[in-house]
Amino acid sequence: MSTEKTIERAENHLLHTYNRYPVVFDHGEGVRLYDDNKKEYLDFCAGIAVYALGYGNRRYEDALKKQIEKVMHISNYYYSEPLADAAEAITKASGMERVFFTNSGAEAVEGAIKAARKYAFLKDGKCDHEIIAMEHSFHGRTFGALSVTGNAHYREPFEPMIGNVKFAKFNDFESVEALVNDRTCAIIMETVQGEGGIYPADPDFVAKIRKLCDEKDILLILDEIQCGMGRSGSMFAFMQYGIEPDILTVAKAVGCGVPVGAFLMNGKVAKSSLVPGDHGTTYGGNPFACAAVAEVFKIFEEDKIIDNVNSVAPYLEKKLKEVVSSHDFLIGERGLGLMRGIVFDTSKKKPGDVVKAALSNGLVLITAGTDVVRFLPPLVITKADVDEMIEKLTMSLSE
């Protein structure tokens, strides 16, 4: 079937909530995607930071096939070996004590919010607790996650939100401190803001937030749905800041293509928050999803994925800075590990136009915020892949 016919069929039936690019991807291999006309694309999007292991990882696929042949779903009334394997792997890797598996990142944020409010309720029996979130943050599209997303444009058509949420300026401790009162139960933020424009948290900001939370018994919720799972150069980005969150949300690369997320908590929160009847899910933690999670952590360790990130990321940073310095409409480069962005002077050139040009040149990129082109490649890329990307990017910037 032709590309045009496939797109027409999809548009006739899908709810129009995405402005999709006119390409029909058919399959992937390694760090490359192929469309239905067999055109090859170098992928520096990875399904928005999902496909950390690249496409066609045989070991990962074999683990899923093996589980399919056993059982995919049994509900959370029962145990399964993949559930135990995945729970053990993710708590060990994160340093957290307990985990609840979800189907997505947004659901992980929903659970984190509920856990934080229940923790505060058990302390004083009150139901008016507040959460401090960050401006320009993004935590998901469900009501709770949207309520703590720091972009009014996303929230306004669906108000009223869950309420009692205040927004501070990211990397501005005084703006956070000014919002704290005796009703504050949690502070939620991304360790590296993704959709908001690729902004890593400042170490001093993170340290002060952690100290404030400790002093006031406020829970620190870190959203590492995009920046976690090795992308920053450590398994989770917070590990580079010398602190630990009270609650951690993860998704995307934790399943490397299988829809799965999780929220994790330390012992303090686990002992005094959610209990049977407070939270649940039909599909979360099913044997199929957990088989994926368990295998992902094994591959990360045995194939030294994070070592590769730390080998290639400085080279990518260097090459992107060279690109920025040679174009007058580019004004900066920032990021952490293999989560990077170049910043545009949008009065001279639009990031969206460059992403379209890149796609025609066989390079998959995405934007972030209003002025950034984002680079989220599979974590298995090589320096040769970076060189090829830079060549295609340079060509696209000139068009």
Residues 295 and 321 in one domain: no
List the CATH number of the domain containing 185.
Answer: 3.40.640.10
Residue 242 burial (C-beta neighbours within 10 Å; 0-12, 13-18, 19+)? exposed
> Given this model, what pLDDT does residue 142 score?
97
Token readout for 62 is 């074999």
Per-residue pLDDT of the chain (399 residues; tens, 9 = 90+): 799 999 999 999 999 999 999 999 999 999 999 999 999 999 999 999 999 999 999 999 999 999 999 999 999 999 999 999 999 999 999 999 999 999 999 999 999 999 999 999 999 999 999 999 999 999 999 999 999 999 999 999 999 999 999 999 999 999 999 999 999 999 999 999 999 999 999 999 999 999 999 999 999 999 999 999 999 999 999 999 999 999 999 999 999 999 999 999 999 999 999 999 999 999 999 999 999 999 999 999 999 999 999 999 999 999 999 999 999 999 999 999 999 999 999 999 999 999 999 999 999 999 999 999 999 999 999 999 999 999 999 999 998
Asked which of 248, 281, 302 is the last residue of a domain, the reply is 302
What are the tokens at 99? 């985990």
Q: Answer yes or no: is 64 within a domain.
A: no
Name the residue type at position 93.
Answer: A
Instruction: Say if 63 falls within a structural domain.
Output: no
* CA angle centred on 250, ends 128 and 102, rounded to 5°: 75
Reported as a single tens digit per residue, the pLDDT across 147-157 is: 999 999 999 99
Structural domain that includes position 45 = 3-56+305-397
pLDDT of residue 1: 75
In DSSP terms, 43 is beta-bridged to 364
Answer whether residue 114 is part of any domain: yes
Residues 286 and 316 in one domain: no
SS3 283: coil
User: Is the peptide bond preceding residue 160 cis, with omega within 30 degrees of 0?
Assistant: yes
Rg (CA), the chain: 21
Statement to judge: residues 128 and 186 lie in one domain: yes
Q: Has residue 62 been placed in a domain?
A: no
Query: Rounded to whole angstroms, what are the CA distances from 49 to 53, 85, 139, 199, 257?
Result: 10, 23, 15, 16, 10
**Predicted local confidence at residue 140, as pLDDT:** 97
> Is 61 within the bounds of a domain?
no
| 387/253 same-domain check | no
Identify whether residues 346 and 379 lie together within a single domain: yes
Please provide the average confidence, as pLDDT, over all residues in the chain: 97
276 and 320 belong to one structural domain: no
Q: Are residues 265 and 352 in the same domain?
A: no
Q: Where are the alpha helices (DSSP H) in 20-137?
A: 46-49, 58-68, 81-94, 105-124
286 & 360 share domain: no
pTM, two decimal places: 0.97
CA–CA separation, 343 and 328 (whole Å):
11
Q: Which domain CATH number covers 26? A: 3.90.1150.10
Number of domains in the chain: 2
pLDDT for 388: 98
Residue type, 211: K
CA gap 334, 31 in Å, rounded:
23
What is the Cβ-side half-sphere exposure of residue 237, based on CA atoms within 13 angstroms? 29
- Report pLDDT digits (tens) over 252-308: 999 999 999 999 999 999 999 999 999 999 999 999 999 999 999 999 999 999 999
197: alpha, beta or left? (left if phi > 0; alpha if psi -120 to 50)? left
Instruction: Write the CB contacts of 260 (distance below 8 Å, at least 6 apart in sequence).
Output: 101, 102, 103, 104, 251, 254, 284, 289, 290, 292, 293
Tell me, what amino acid is at 127? C
CB-CB contact of 293 with 228 (8 Å) = no
Q: Residue 317 has what pLDDT?
A: 98
Decide if 248 contacts 90 (C-beta within 8 A).
no
